[in-house]
Structure formats: C-alpha cells, structure tokens
A and B are shown apart, each in its own frame.
Chain A
Amino acid sequence: ETVMTQSPATLSVSPGGRVTLSCRASQRVSNNLAWYQQKPGQAPRLLIYGASTRATGIPARFSGSGSGTDFTLTISSLQSEDFAVYYCQQYNHWLYTFGQGTKLEI
C-alpha cells in the first residue's frame, strides 16, 4: 500500500495570501497524483490531476507540481471560499490511497 502523508495538518493563513500544501508518497507514483478540496457538509471536489493539470472549471490560482514522491498544491491570492480541507490522492496503483488532509483556516 502506498501511504500518502500530507503536511501540515492545519495551516492558518490570511485572505489574499499564498499558501503551499505538501504531500509525500511512500513510494514513487509517477505523476499519478490528484488533489481534492472538501468543504463542510459537501463531497470532495477534484482540483488537480496528473500532479499539475487543473480539472474543469478550477481557477488558475490553484496549481500543482511534483513527480515521483513529492508533490505540492499552491493556492495564490486566497479567497474566502478556499478555506477548506485539501486531500491528495495517488492513483498509480489499483489500491488508491488518500492523504489525511490539510485544513486551511483563516
């Protein structure tokens, strides 16, 4: 099983700021890495796939990078609607796994 580790668990930031979330895989997953956003009471929403490709309708302030085992999600110019929990997920192997999440709070 590929274990995904996200850091930090919680990040306190101000609107308008820039933030970088990290995700590390316990083994190489190539660029088979996705990021999701989840707000309270809602299902997750796909933000990024292929480590760096934005999903349909995702604003350009969201960007992803990385390959192999280390990945980042950067959100520039934070908006109020961006405060949520973010999960990374590897889909390199049929047993897909998620990180434990990073909560972005004001």
Chain B
Amino acid sequence: EVQLVESGGGLVQPGRSLRLSCAASGFNFDDYDMHWVRQVPGRGLEWVSGISWNSDNMGYVDSVKGRFTISRDNTKNSLYLQMNSLRSEDTALYYCVKDGPVAGTGDYWGQGTLVTVSS
C-alpha cells in the first residue's frame, strides 16, 4: 500500500524557516518524480514544487522561487521542502504527492502538514 506521510509543519513567524519532510513507502520511490502541492484551507490547490526521480530537474512556482528548495533522498525514501523567508501567504496545508501514471499527475497524496506563518 502506498503511503505518504508529511511532517514538519507548524506555527512559524514571518521571515523564519521551516523544513517539511515526506516519508514514502509502498512503491519504488526512486522510480518517480515527486511534488509538493499546497492548499489554503477552504481554497484551491497550488502546485509548489516538483523534483525528478534522480534530482536532475526541479521546478517551482514563481512565488516561492529563491525561497523554497525541494530535495529528496532516495536511500531514505524521503522528500523534503526547505522553506526560507516565510510569508503569511505561505500559510497552507502542504501535500506530498507521488507522480502518477503520466508525469505531472498525482495519483497518491499524503494527508498534508499545516504550515501557519504568523507573528
């Protein structure tokens, strides 16, 4: 059974940093691209960042470029998102998403970890 378990969320002041982690199991982690997608409670979905299976390619939404860094450790079946210079508009539930049957789709999602940026 595929499982994606996010951790690392919490309450943080503007300008501070946070590192999200996602522990993956139930599939060959190093065969798939992975993504972070966020959702403000009660609002829509926003793709934040993605990383290729071998870490050769990464992408970011414009609003986080230069502040967030995605990475992965295939030996630990883990995905990470380092978030620096956090802003109030980064407040959201962050989902870890496994690439689906076609690259760019998400067939398995974690339950999310909530990041709240507030003073």
Contacts and interface: CB of A to CB of B under 8 A. Distances in A.
A91 B112 contact: no
Interface residues of B, number: 23
Interface string B12-49: 00000000000000000000000100000000111100
Contacts of A44: 45, 95, 106, 109
B61 A49 contact: no
Interface of B: 35, 44-47, 50, 57, 59, 61-62, 95, 100-107, 109-112
A95 interface: yes
Contacts of B57: 94
**Per DSSP, are chain A's interface residues mostly helix, strand or loop, or mixed?**
loop
A72 B62 CA distance: 28
The residue among A38, A49, A96, A100 with the most chain B CB atoms within 10 A of its own CB is: A96
Taking residues whose C-beta sits less than 8 angstroms from the other chain, chain A's interface range is 20 to 34
Contacts of A96: 35, 47, 50, 104
Interface in A1-47: 1, 32, 34, 36, 38, 43-46
